[in-house]
Amino acid sequence: MFSIAIDSIAMIYLILLLWIPFYWFLFHTAIRHWRRIGNRAFWMAFPIWLIFAAAIVLSRHELLARRIGRGLFTWIAGAALFLAATWLDVQTRHALGWRRLVGLTELNPRHGMSTLVRAGVYARLRHPRYLLYMLMVLSMAFLTGAPAIFLLAILNILMYQILAPLEERKLLDQYGPEYRDYQRAVPRFVPRLGRPREARISS
């Protein structure tokens, strides 16, 4: 019963998260086009999500057909990754707010909230949101012990390694030297130990 519950939770998280890097890849590579369309651009999210959701639901038996041996290490690793991702999720929501989370300020760069966020978790990481998605999918791989989900987690991580520089290129165009200084001061995915270093704001 416990294993069935874990498998069900894993499928839910895969449905919720696996489509996200592909959506943001399309978003960031054609941001000028989507800005001309405005808020209607968010309608493209639904068919992308629907395709991924249907694929995961239809292939759920194949995804979970094979398992590695699960033991104390895999349960602890999965739980630790899940808790870390959940903590990052709370911190990211607190730092950004829902308008930034869904990308409204990226579609409307002149919006009053379109300022560079460097408070909270963003003082330690440039992309905590991407990191939490990577950790959450990886936690599902450890908790289910399914090699297919490990493969999806690895592909998911690779996608974010491509996506993060694309987003940063757009942010450099938007914020200029201010974002360049932020890049120098704050790491992308792996936080530095100790107190966060203040980014210098160029005049």
* pTM of the predicted protein model: 0.86
Cα 50 from chain centroid (whole Å):
18
Question: Which residue is associated with the tokens 């449905």?
Answer: 15
Examine residue 200 and state whether it is found in any structural domain, yes or no: no
Examine residue 162 and state whether it is found in any structural domain, yes or no: yes
Q: How many domains does the chain have?
A: 1
Examine residue 191 and state whether it is found in any structural domain, yes or no: no
Spell 87-104 as b/e; 16+ CB within 10 A means b: ebbebbeebbeeebeebb
Examine residue 203 and state whether it is found in any structural domain, yes or no: no
Examine residue 196 and state whether it is found in any structural domain, yes or no: no
Examine residue 112 and state whether it is found in any structural domain, yes or no: yes
Examine residue 134 and state whether it is found in any structural domain, yes or no: yes
CATH of the domain at 65: 1.20.120
Q: Which domain holds residue 36?
A: 2-185
Q: What is the DSSP letter of 171?
A: H
C-beta separation of 38 from 80 below 8 A: no
Digit-by-digit pLDDT tens for the chain (203 residues) are: 788 899 999 999 999 999 999 988 887 777 777 777 766 777 778 898 999 999 999 999 999 999 988 888 999 999 999 999 999 999 998 888 766 676 666 666 565 556 788 888 999 999 999 999 999 999 999 999 999 999 999 999 999 999 999 989 888 988 899 999 999 999 999 988 766 555 443 32
